[in-house]
Amino acid sequence: MPISRRSLIRSAAALALGRAARSADMITLSPGPKDVEMPVSGFVDEITPVGNFFVRCHTLIPAVNAAEWKLELGGLVDKPISFTLAELKQFPHLDLVAVLECAGNGRSFFQPRVAGAQWQFGSVGCARWTGVRLRDVLAKAGVKPGVTQILMDGADVPMGTMPKFQRTIEISKALDPDTLLAWDMNGKPLTPDNGFPLRVIAPGWASDSWCKWLTKLEPMDHEFEGFWMKTAYRHPNHHVEPGAAVDAKDMTPVTDLNVKSVIAIPGAVVRPGRVAVIGMAWSNASPLTKVELSVDGGKTWASARFTGKGTKYGFRKWTYDWRVSDGEHILISRATNAAGQTQPMEAEWNPNGYLYNAAQPRRISVGSAAPEHPVEQPPAGPASYQAACFSCHDDHMMRMQRLTRAQWDREITKMTGWGAQVKAEDRPALLDYLASIFKP
């Protein structure tokens, strides 16, 4: 059973020492645009407290004035219409518990490494969302025949010349009775971080379809041509050898989440005796059927026990009674759903690093202290580094990525396309710096 040393070190580094997560423990990948994830110790609440909920933004968080805010519904409809929040609240209300997971969650574990925010375990959470059915709202305007997609747009303003975060959702998903427009999260209005005043809830699907700060819906008869639909959030429709390029025609939009589980407790060190191993599992629209645990690095597996009732799209907590005396142990959890999907030992590598769901080994030792992993400070970069990169984000974005020279070269091309100012004569030094300091 192959377990790379690297994935073990990374798992250990991601661990808090077995106490429940507080919002103060959140892991900041980037302060602005805000990218923050939950530590593994947070996977003990079937409903994630808002303070422990991950945040992923491509832009700065828009300050929406609720009194002036409106949802516009135009495009291929019989009667274009707009709604205030009060008007939306006239539709029948619904409460739905559902997992929100970034398609890039777990990206940092892919080998070879891929560009993008280097999420570990925690760009996922589960909340109780309150809102109205998207299909009820669409029906009010009358969707014309031939509509295949609904374009979603939010109040966020892109940085530089980065394309606006606009995506389409298939009409079948838009009309699903579980697809909502929500204003409340865990019984309180959405925070600005999580999409105030209104966001799309697309349960069972990755969160790139859960548009935040929603301002516009537009039924269309084709898939949107913009960057976030045609280039980003696509993954291969066939197996890809790790590191290989994929033909654009074989890349299809990300939709369903993968079945997945995470061990929350214990932390890296335990006392000998009986240890309650506790964790969380989730799936897509197919319900979970079991979680298994291995305490010997994957040689043998035993069933964990679900605690709590679970919900169709929610987190489901599980526990396993472990007796341990001494030594080092490798624990692995593995979830399975009713469709027969099981977490693999190796995730399917793909060029954008989406939908990582390998069963992750966790090293636990009895008695001794966990190793420290100090964060290294990179040497200062050339002037062009500050000038070009820091106008949209700070150095967290580069520090978390460990890319090859060819990958950094592509990133510079992408970013200059989005408005980063790099003079031709500065480019070689910038590339040298990125490739030598932030290398795999």
Ligand X SMILES: Nc1nc2c(c(=O)[nH]1)N[C@H]1C(S)=C(S)[C@@H](COP(=O)(O)O)O[C@H]1N2
Cis? peptide before 112, omega within 30° of 0: yes
Query: Which of these, 362, 435, 367, 358, lies nearest to 401 by C-alpha position?
Result: 435
Residue 194 as a binder of ligand X (CB under 6 A): the answer is yes
Residue 55 as a binder of Mo ion (CB under 5 A): the answer is no
Q: How far is the CB of 113 from ligand X (least distance, A)?
A: 19
| Residues between 21 and 40 that touch Mo ion (CB under 5 A) | none
Tell me whether residue 99 or residue 420 sits nearer to ligand X (CB atom). Answer: 99
Q: Which residues contact 297 (CB under 8 A, 6 or more apart)?
A: 1, 3, 329, 330, 332, 361
Q: How far is the CB of 427 from ligand X (least distance, A)?
A: 28
Residue 102 as a binder of ligand X (CB under 6 A): the answer is yes
Tokens 């968080």 belong to residue: 61
Task: Give the containing element (helix H, strand E) for 305.
Answer: strand 305-306
Residue 54 as a binder of ligand X (CB under 6 A): the answer is yes
Q: At what angle do helices 405-417 and 427-437 cross, to 10 degrees?
A: 130
Residue 46 as a binder of ligand X (CB under 6 A): the answer is no
Residue 165 as a binder of ligand X (CB under 6 A): the answer is yes
Residue 129 as a binder of ligand X (CB under 6 A): the answer is no
Residue 56 as a binder of Mo ion (CB under 5 A): the answer is yes
Residue 102 as a binder of Mo ion (CB under 5 A): the answer is yes
Distance in angstroms (rounded) separating the CA atoms of residues 329 and 299: 12
The token pair at 41 is 């110790």
Residue 335 as a binder of Mo ion (CB under 5 A): the answer is no
Tell me whether residue 55 or residue 388 sits nearer to ligand X (CB atom). Answer: 55
128 binding partner (options ligand X, Mo ion, none; Cβ < 5 to 8 Å by kind)? none
β pairing state of 302-303 and 288-294: antiparallel
Distance in angstroms (rounded) separating the CA atoms of residues 41 and 87: 40
Residue 210 as a binder of ligand X (CB under 6 A): the answer is yes
Tell me whether residue 194 or residue 357 sits nearer to ligand X (CB atom). Answer: 194
Q: Which stretch binds ligand X (CB under 6 A): 205-213, 281-289, 307-315, 380-388?
A: 205-213
Q: Which residues contact 416 (CB under 8 A, 6 or more apart)?
A: 388, 422
**Residue 135 φ/ψ, nearest 5 degrees:** -65, -30
Size, binding site for ligand X by CB under 6 A: 21
Using DSSP's 3-state secondary structure scheme, residue 42 falls into helix
Q: How far is the CB of 379 from ligand X (least distance, A)?
A: 32
Q: Which stretch binds ligand X (CB under 6 A): 51-59, 250-258, 405-413, 420-428?
A: 51-59
Query: Which of these, 108, 4, 115, lies nearest to 405 by C-alpha position?
Result: 115
Residue 212 as a binder of ligand X (CB under 6 A): the answer is yes
What letter does residue 424 receive in the DSSP assignment?
Answer: G
Q: How far is the CB of 150 from ligand X (least distance, A)?
A: 14
The token pair at 92 is 């029948």
Q: Give helix then strand counts, H and E, for the chain.
A: 9, 24
210 binding partner (options Mo ion, ligand X, none; Cβ < 5 to 8 Å by kind)? ligand X
Q: Which amino acid is at 112?
A: P
Q: How far is the CB of 273 from ligand X (least distance, A)?
A: 38
Q: Which stretch binds ligand X (CB under 6 A): 136-144, 188-196, 240-248, 358-366?
A: 188-196
Query: Which of these, 253, 255, 199, 256, lies nearest to 225 by C-alpha position?
Result: 253
Residue 56 as a binder of ligand X (CB under 6 A): the answer is yes
Q: How far is the CB of 337 from ligand X (least distance, A)?
A: 22
Binding site for ligand X (CB under 6 A): 53-59, 100, 102, 154, 156, 165, 193-195, 207-208, 210-213
